Amino acid sequence: MIQALIVEDDPISVEMLRDFLDDSGEPIQVIDHCGTVKSAVNKITKLNPELVFLDVELADGSCFDVLQNIGTINFEIIIITSHDRYAMQAVKYSALDYLIKPIKSTSSNPH
């Protein structure tokens, strides 16, 4: 089971991502979530997740501030945002994927 952390400051987006992951069938366990740069750095350091879903725009900075403050990045990164303008920065951090909000579960798709 892949241990994942969600860094997202919008509670609705957190729930949508959790639903998406639950419905994906992938072996991903969300071990926690948080919504600020400071709490993200603390939780990543403490929990040592294998995968981190990072919203770009956080209340106190950006996901790139989180990544700069971590030091060694020993986890996979999936960037989550409502904008496509951060794609090049995501590539610099070797992001595994780049998801555009809103993230919807496949079970909510009637087709």
- Residue 34's domain comprises 2-108
Find the mean pLDDT for residues 56-79.
94
What backbone torsions phi and psi does residue 28 show, to the nearest 5 degrees?
-120, 125
pLDDT digits (tens, 9 = 90+) for 87-100: 777 777 778 887 78
Provide the pLDDT for residue 106: 53
- CA nearest 50: which of 16, 73, 24, 19? 73
Reported as a single tens digit per residue, the pLDDT across 33-51 is 999 999 999 999 999 999 9
pLDDT at 109 over 50: no
Q: How far is CA 29 from CA 12, 54, 90, 111, in A?
A: 18, 16, 23, 27
Q: What CATH number is attached to the domain comprising 78?
A: 3.40.50.2300
Which residue bears the tokens 């956080």? 58
- Tell me the average pLDDT of the chain: 88
Q: How many domains does the chain have?
A: 1
Give the mean pLDDT of 26-39: 97
| Model pTM score | 0.86
Nearest 5°: phi and psi at 80? -125, 130
